[in-house]
Amino acid sequence: MGADSEPILRAEDVHRRFGGVHALRGAELAVYPGEVHGLTGENGSGKSTLLKILSGQLQPDAGRIRLGGDVTVFRSARDGMRSGVVTVSQETTLAPDLSVAENIFLGHRMSRRSGVIDWAATRRRAEVALARLGLDLDPRLAVRRLRPDQAQMVEIARALSMEARVLILDEPTSSLTDDAVSLLFDSVKRACEDGVATIFVSHRLNEIFTLCDRVTTLRDGLTVGTGPVDSYDRDSLVSLMVGGTLESAVHDMHEPGSEHVVLRARRLSLPGAFSEVDLEVRSGEIVGLAGLVGAGRTELLESLFGLHRPEGTVELDSEPRLHRSPREAIRDGIALVPADRKRQGLVLGRSFGENLLMASQSQAFRLKPPRRKRELVTIEAATKQLQIRAASPDVAAGTLSGGNQQKVLLGKWLETKPRLLMLDEPTRGVDVGAKAEIYNLLFDARSRGIGILVSSSETPELLTLCDTIAVMFRGRVVASLPRAEADEATIARLAGGHR
């Protein structure tokens, strides 16, 4: 690695438009054999577009790609793969009905002499590939039956098994547990020792600093910086990305919450998930749920949204309520913004305008293009308020950047005019700039008297947002801290089961 060797893959002055959106306007990137190269930038800055061009999934309007010094044209992803450029993209490409083993070796199945597939060998090879990532999975299992984090690891196992020269990982960690992330990092480092170049995208800056040797930053489709990761710290990298600092972008104009209790849960229990939970959310208050993965936070939110049948009592505006379905919960003014926006939150193939109206228009989630004037006015107003950046409300939700998708999802639920707004990991896969915008939207909702309950694995996020933080450990709320008494160390200690 370094200036003395040739880049293995290089993008020079790359331009690309999508209709009216100028996604890339002269992007540059050079990766060297054996290095992990971080690619950072706000949502919509063009990272995925550049990586799709480098791997052949998209063609540039102008500019050059060089592979080992020679100008190259990849006409398709398959073309790129044949030259050793392998991608794990933000969108899953696994075939849901095929098994784990079949997916891993799709396209490079091992055959016997006759061309017949050797299933026993395929399965054994899959087991090895999975074990390398510390995955204890039956390779015969259909991919459809995997959790999102498991499916993500299978995609990574497939990419690693292809003997890539350049491995492109576009936000591989956003749905992974901490353990899975560290196994992934070990595998990436091993691949690099063998001379593989890796391009790594993550919105978690600590991952960039832990894993990467060098980092390139895009802003508005343009490369604004590239250099050794040691030459940056958090602040300098963030200001390069946003052209300013995060603190200056968050405006918390907090007025104290009212005494009016929107939600009161008493001795709420769901066997196997949480037990004896007492919780209160006031009008105009943001309550945080802290805790490790598996502490019961998601199940608690889902139960309050009518997805499970917990024992205990729930009062909404002092009236007893136990919702037996999300439909009942929505009718009562409860909203849940789920963690997995790709699977549960948005209909990615539909326009974002339709997505915005989906929860508020009728109980039976409607799916038809918005036509009436009133609907179009609503969409326009929401787009403006949420600062969604897209060419038009007709573009498919799936083509928006992560931060914009998350804002559409939040907007969809705000349109239902909830009295209790619940959010699970509200900024997963969202960059610092969009994060600040989402925080501001939540502060704004709070000032309108909405009660807000936010579950997050990121303690700094809870400390920025919340008035009160409830800490869960193994299904129990072990502490409820006013913001003034909460800090990272205290929360970490309580979440780990210590007093």
Ligand X SMILES: Nc1ncnc2c1ncn2[C@@H]1O[C@H](COP(=O)(O)OP(=O)(O)OP(=O)(O)O)[C@@H](O)[C@H]1O
Quote the CA–CA distance of 90 and 18 in Å, as a whole number.
Answer: 18
As a residue count, the chain comes to 499
403 is a site residue for ligand X (CB under 6 A)? yes
> Is the four-CA dihedral 319, 321, 326, 328 of positive or negative sign?
negative
48 is a site residue for ligand X (CB under 6 A)? yes
**Segment contacting ligand X (CB under 6 A): 222-230, 262-270, 400-408, 441-449?**
400-408
Interacting residues with Mg ion between 32 and 61 (CB under 5 A): 47-48
| 98 touches, from ligand X, Mg ion, none (C-beta below 5 to 8 Å by class) | none
Cβ at position 27, least distance to ligand X in Å: 10
**Which CB atom, from 1 or from 396, has the smaller least distance to ligand X?**
396
φ, ψ (nearest 5 deg) of residue 442: -70, -40
**Which CB atom, from 215 or from 304, has the smaller least distance to ligand X?**
215
Q: In what order do the strands lie in the sheet with 214-219?
A: 85-88, 166-170, 197-201, 36-40, 214-219, 222-228
Quote the CA–CA distance of 414 and 23 in Å, as a whole number.
Answer: 29
56 is a site residue for ligand X (CB under 6 A)? no
Among 33, 326, 338, 402, binds ligand X (CB under 6 A): 402
Interacting residues with ligand X between 70 and 109 (CB under 6 A): 90
Site track for ligand X across 431-470, x = CB under 6 A: x---------------------------------------
Which residue type, as a one-letter code, is found at position 457?
Answer: S
40 is a site residue for ligand X (CB under 6 A)? no
φ, ψ (nearest 5 deg) of residue 411: -60, -40
**Segment contacting ligand X (CB under 6 A): 6-14, 254-262, 397-405, 464-472?**
397-405
393 is a site residue for ligand X (CB under 6 A)? no
Cβ at position 170, least distance to Mg ion in Å: 6
| 395 touches, from ligand X, Mg ion, none (C-beta below 5 to 8 Å by class) | ligand X
346 is a site residue for ligand X (CB under 6 A)? no
Q: Which residues pair with 469 in a beta bridge?
A: 288, 481
207 is a site residue for ligand X (CB under 6 A)? no
Quote the CA–CA distance of 301 and 284 in Å, as a whole number.
Answer: 18
> Is the four-CA dihedral 260, 263, 267, 273 of positive or negative sign?
negative
360 is a site residue for Mg ion (CB under 5 A)? no
Alpha helices in 73-118 (DSSP H): 77-82, 100-105
395 is a site residue for ligand X (CB under 6 A)? yes
**Which CB atom, from 135 or from 400, has the smaller least distance to ligand X?**
400
| 455 touches, from ligand X, Mg ion, none (C-beta below 5 to 8 Å by class) | none
| 390 touches, from Mg ion, ligand X, none (C-beta below 5 to 8 Å by class) | ligand X
Quote the CA–CA distance of 440 and 311 in Å, as a whole number.
Answer: 35
Cβ at position 430, least distance to Mg ion in Å: 11
Tell me the Ramachandran region of residue 229: left when phi exceeds 0, alpha when psi lies from -120 to 50, beta otherwise.
alpha
Tell me the Ramachandran region of residue 313: left when phi exceeds 0, alpha when psi lies from -120 to 50, beta otherwise.
beta
Tokens encoding 417: 């005019």
Binding-site ranges for Mg ion (CB under 5 A): 47-48
Binding-site ranges for ligand X (CB under 6 A): 18, 21, 23, 41, 43-49, 90, 389-390, 395, 399-403, 431
